[in-house]
Amino acid sequence: MRIYNLGSINWDQCYRVEHFVRPGETLMSSAYALHLGGKGANQSAAAAKAGGQVTHIGCVASADSALSKLQELGVETGGIYQQDQHATGHALIQIDDQGENAIILHAGANRALQQDWIVSQLQSAEKQDWLLMQNETNLLHESATLARQKGMQVAFNPAPMDRDLTLSLLDKLDLLIVNQIEAQDLTGASDLDTAIERMQQQAPDLALLITLGAKGACYCQGNQRHSVNAFKVDAVDTTAAGDTFIGYFLASLTAGLAVSDALPRASAAAALAVTRAGAIPSIPSRQEVDDFLARQP
Ligand code: ATP
């Protein structure tokens, strides 16, 4: 089983500054770092590191080095369209001396996908392959419809949350992946149990994977419920914890693991990720996850 991940690819350009730039000001930064990011790229990287077969479907500027970066991570990049009308998605991130940030995000090529391209990329997809999507590209409805017609399974992680869009997609999804805040925003519920109840009333066949930060995660489908605790670790940076969880979870399912086995594996990978700084560099390898699980009492 293969994962086709329709997702964003961003370059995060991080500038360390004394204070955020003011109108009319030219400000020197004291440090600069460039990282590959975007929820799409993060989740592809995580699923590939987990050992999954991952084809990323996306769009970048011609000859962007994101392609070789993703290839090095084990992601199949033939599904990434290269064009010259739009810049590759990027974020300009100012980080001040207090650690606060101010971000300009330019979606660029991420929202310039053409339907013909998606159709051609899903041509070779097989029944039971997964289409994974986040809310950082265009053509979500069209792609989910096409995937369903082909008998694929569709997973959606609605980040950033758009309530109306997510509700309108529900009948095309097999798996909805949200964190607790998103689950409650989506349903207007003040607690998790009510959120789950409302989601299940609205979409009885839909499987829900809800990540709960340091409290772990739960999976619900019909009467079936599985919960997993988070592993106790010294958290340094939770960036991409959710993306790591999702990539590992789906890759584990495609490798034939049951949900009850995929959950602790994803939780272990995400726990390792929060012990390290950054997004993609923080995602552990399969071997690291195996070693971590073997060390648990
Ligand atoms: P992000 O947006 O930072 O990627 P998220 O809000 O989508 O994260 P969370 O629910 O915060 O997702 O975290 C995802 C998973 O990461 C959790 O289900 C848990 O397994 C793991 N995790 C998060 N925080 C911790 C922590 N402090 N200790 C151990 N594991 C953690």
Atom of ligand 1 nearest to the CA of 180: 10
Residue 136 pLDDT: 97
Determine whether the shortest distance from the Cβ of 120 to ligand 1 is under 6 A: no
Question: What is the overall mean pLDDT for the chain?
Answer: 97
* Residue 90 token pair: 């990027």
pLDDT average, residue stretch 17-31: 96
Q: How many CB atoms lie within 10 A of CB 226?
A: 17
> pLDDT of 36-73, one tens digit each?
999 999 999 999 999 999 999 999 999 999 999 999 99
Q: How many residues are there in the chain?
A: 297
Determine whether the shortest distance from the Cβ of 192 to ligand 1 is under 6 A: no
Residue 280 pLDDT: 95
> pLDDT of 220-267, one tens digit each?
999 999 999 999 999 999 999 999 999 999 999 999 999 999 999 999
CA–centroid distance for 237 within its chain: 17
Residue 117 pLDDT: 98
Options 243, 261, 290, 291, the catalytic residue: 243
Residues 6+ apart with CB under 8 A from 54: 2, 3, 5, 44, 47, 48, 74, 75, 76, 251
* Residue 260 token pair: 């009850």
Determine whether the shortest distance from the Cβ of 230 to ligand 1 is under 6 A: yes
The residue among 180, 257, 254, 175 whose CA lies nearest residue 220 is 175
Residue 27 pLDDT: 96
Atom of ligand 1 nearest to the CA of 266: 20
Peptide bond into 284 cis (omega under 30): no
Q: Which residue has the tokens 């992946």?
A: 177
Query: Helix, strand, coil shares of the chain as percentages rounded to 5?
Result: 40, 25, 35
Share of residues in the chain with pLDDT > 90 (%): 97
d(CA 292, CA 271): 10
Secondary structure E strands in the chain? 2-6, 10-16, 31-37, 53-61, 80-83, 89-95, 101-106, 130-134, 153-157, 175-179, 207-211, 217-221, 224-228
Q: With 90 as the cut, is the pLDDT of residue 297 above it?
A: no
> pLDDT of 71-84, one tens digit each?
999 999 999 999 99
**Is 193 an annotated catalytic residue?**
no
Atom of ligand 1 nearest to the CA of 243: 4
Please tell me the number of Cα atoms within 13 Å of 44 on its side-chain side: 34
Residue 292 pLDDT: 98
Determine whether the shortest distance from the Cβ of 272 to ligand 1 is under 6 A: no
The residue among 14, 202, 172 whose CA lies nearest residue 104 is 14
235 phi-psi bin (left φ>0, alpha ψ -120 to 50, beta other): beta
Q: With 90 as the cut, is the pLDDT of residue 99 above it?
A: no
User: Collapsing DSSP states into helix, strand and coil, what is residue 80?
Assistant: strand
Determine whether the shortest distance from the Cβ of 158 to ligand 1 is under 6 A: no
251 CA from centroid of ligand 1 (Å): 18
Burial 22-46 (b: 16+ CB within 10 A, else e): eeeeeeeeeeeeebbbbbbbbbbbb
Determine whether the shortest distance from the Cβ of 160 to ligand 1 is under 6 A: no
From 134, 178, 179, 244, mutation site for ligand 1 pocket: most ligand atoms within 8 A of C-beta: 179
Q: With 90 as the cut, is the pLDDT of residue 162 above it?
A: yes
61 CA from centroid of ligand 1 (Å): 32
pLDDT average, residue stretch 88-110: 94
Binding positions for ATP are 179, 211-216, 242-243
Binding positions for K(+) are 237, 239, 273, 276, 278, 282
Residue 161 pLDDT: 95
Binding positions are 10-12, 38-42, 136, 179, 211-216, 237, 239, 242-243, 273, 276, 278, 282
From 211, 244, 246, 282, mutation site for ligand 1 pocket: most ligand atoms within 8 A of C-beta: 211
d(CA 267, CA 101): 28
Share of residues in the chain with pLDDT > 70 (%): 100
Atom of ligand 1 nearest to the CA of 231: 29
pTM: 0.96
Q: With 90 as the cut, is the pLDDT of residue 175 above it?
A: yes
Please tell me the number of Cα atoms within 13 Å of 258 on its side-chain side: 5
pLDDT average, residue stretch 12-21: 95
